[in-house]
Amino acid sequence: MDLRAKKKIQKKLTTLAISSPVEPATPEPNKTYKHSITIQCNALLYNTLQNTVKALHTGNDFTYTSVTDLIRAALKAYQSGMELTELEQPGKKKETSIRVDDSLYKFYKSLPNQMRTKILEKAIRTFIKNQ
């Protein structure tokens, strides 16, 4: 009786292995970020962004994979009408570059040249506070 049970189990396992192959995951089409913009950001705010990304990853939330994803999301939120509620914070600036798509690039370039850094910092702070 033991022998027949083992044969049945082996037969079921081979049938399952043959009938239900694991399908490879189809990669999501990558967004193409054609343009690169160099931004300046408050160093303390940049550290806050890094800590936010680490905290999200610790909580198994991988919506934003990096600081640049958060900055890009904040800029998109501002582009789509988010009101800026946070004040600017003086301090040392950190320069970084991010890649953006066509519409975000045009929007960023349409901002007043002397106010881009202030607007971007306010947008990031407001976006983080609302998340």
Q: pLDDT tens digit string along 40-99?
A: 999 999 999 999 999 999 999 888 999 999 999 999 999 999 998 988 888 899 999 999
Q: How far apart are the first and last CA of the chain?
A: 62
Average pLDDT on 1-7 reads 59
Q: Specify the higher pLDDT residue, 69 or 13.
A: 69
Helices 43-58, 116-130: axis angle to 10 degrees equals 30
**Band of pLDDT at residue 25, cut at 50, 70 and 90:** very low
> 100-125, pLDDT tens digit by residue?
999 999 999 999 999 999 999 999 99
Per-residue pLDDT for 22 more than 80? no
pLDDT for residue 20: 43
**Band of pLDDT at residue 33, cut at 50, 70 and 90:** confident
Reference 124, options 54, 28, 59, 49; nearest CA is: 49
What rounded mean pLDDT belongs to the chain?
A: 82
Distances (CA, A) of 73 to 32, 33, 97, 122, 126: 15, 13, 15, 13, 11
